[in-house]
Amino acid sequence: MSDADIEPEPRLVGDSTAGSLQRRTEAHAVPELVDATAALDIVRRYVEAERRRNRRIVVWTSTVAFFVVVFVLTAFISIGIFVLNRTSQTADRVDEVEQRAQAYVRNVAAATNRMLQIEGLSQDIAREFRQGERERFKATESVKLNLQRFSRWVLRKGESQEEQMQAQLEERLAQIEAKSSERERQLEELRKDYGFLQDEYASLQAAMEKREARQETPRAARSPLSPVWSDDDVLDMDNLLAALEQTVPPIDDASSWGVPLATSDQNDEVVELRSILEDEPADSSGHASAVEFPNGDRYQGQIKYGLLHGWGVYTTRQGNRYEGNFNYDMREGEGTLVFANGDKYVGEFRDDRISGKGTMIYTNGSRYTGEFEDGKKHGKGVLRFANGDTYTGDFTNDARTGFGTYNFTDGDRYTGEFLDGLRHGQGRYTYGVGGEYVGEFKDGKKQGEGITIYPNGKQVKGLWEDDQFVRPLPM
């Protein structure tokens, strides 16, 4: 119902009473006397107006409440989406931080292992350096000692031997000259008595002149008449003696010649003189002697020219004992060296060092058989450890480096490349319980790409890092 439908209020007109009543009604807002129908109408219109006003209030209130609810829901949804996005980002950030932390932990572990390895290598280098210094010091002291010993021997032997040799030379030369003169006189007499031998004697003289031209001994150290014959001269002499036997009395019948002949002792003197001239003492082959050195070392064996030469036993003051062959103060050839700590080497020596093929037996129960160089395992060899493990392959500078096979007592076996005693490079590790790994190794651990073969035959190719499986790779 609109305002136009509301009927106007009745008015009483025509008399004063009505006018007064109207005035009272306007003054008191509620007429004192109204018609019942009009009153009901007025009430009805009033109620309808209130209803319309209430409906408008409800509509406006509902609209406002609706928009408030929509706004609140929109706000909640927006906040939820924002929080969800932030939560996802936070989770991703947390995963990233966790991955970085794991990578950092791995890097720290790798750096720690590397530092430990570097520290171990540094200690090994320092130990080898100290050992090398000790060996160089020992070698230097040994050389000094040998030089001093040789100098003393030369000074002691040189003067006396030179004087003795000079006297012997003079004496022997005088005897030889006398004997040569006597033999020359005998030859003159023989030429006079046996003229038919002139041609043969001329041949002999030519042979002697040819022999003297080819003689290697210095002329100042011998008599020109010293009879040193070549092979051709010996043949000529045999022919000449055969002819003489047919025409002259036998040699044993010296009285028929009327002149004395040279005895075997005189011939021995000529040989002895040649030995002196060639500076070759009669005991040059070496004789057994026992020597104790000022530094406490002891030697018992053969000596030549004042040097250790031949077979002998040398014991150092530290307790090392070598028994074997010497070559002018140097261990050379086959020998046995027992160290003070109980280790034992049996094999070849070269230039006073363990070099060649041999066997080293360690006190801890390990045993190596193979090639050595400068006292270290170098080349091909077999190393058996005290726990039963064995390694067969290459060695370089006393370490397992190169290609080889390592067998474990539990049945595991590795065949491949080694570096400084660790699995490094391409290799195959076979497990005793079944299965194997074929791929890359680094510092003794699986590192890089590799294929794992399970006992059932299944093969998985993957990426390994620090002996741990990282992720699979396509075959």
Domains of the chain (ranges plus CATH)? 286-472 (2.60.450.20)
Per-residue model confidence (pLDDT) at position 429: 95
Q: How far apart are CA 411 and CA 238, in angstroms?
A: 80
Q: Are strands 344-350 and 445-453 parallel, antiparallel or unpaired?
A: unpaired
Per-residue model confidence (pLDDT) at position 448: 93
Contacts 24+ apart (CB under 8 A), 415-424: 416/441, 417/441, 418/393, 418/394
What are the structure tokens assigned to 345, written together? 């080497």
Spans of the chain, pLDDT less than 70: 1-34, 147-163, 165-166, 169, 191-288
Residue 272 main-chain phi, psi, to 5 deg: -65, -40
Count how many residues are written for the chain: 475
Per-residue model confidence (pLDDT) at position 71: 92
Q: How far apart are CA 94 and CA 88, in angstroms?
A: 10
Per-residue model confidence (pLDDT) at position 267: 43
What are the structure tokens assigned to 111, written together? 């750096």
Query: Do 436 and 426 form a contact (C-beta atoms < 8 A)?
Result: no
Q: Which of 214, 213, 217 is nearest to 277 (CA)?
A: 217
Residues 6+ apart with CB under 8 A from 48: 1
Q: How far apart are CA 32 and CA 22, in angstroms?
A: 9
Residue 18 Cα to chain centre, angstroms: 137
Residue 352 main-chain phi, psi, to 5 deg: 70, 15
pTM of whole model > 0.75?
no
Residue 280 main-chain phi, psi, to 5 deg: -125, 95
462: amino acid identity, one letter: G
Q: How far apart are CA 28 and CA 38, in angstroms?
A: 17
Q: Which of 201, 226, 191 is nearest to 211 (CA)?
A: 226
Helix (H, G, I), strand (E, B) or coil at 288: strand
Per-residue model confidence (pLDDT) at position 378: 95
Per-residue model confidence (pLDDT) at position 350: 94
Query: What does the angle CA 332 – CA 337 – CA 341 come to, to the nearest 5 degrees?
Result: 150
Per-residue model confidence (pLDDT) at position 404: 96
Per-residue model confidence (pLDDT) at position 211: 55
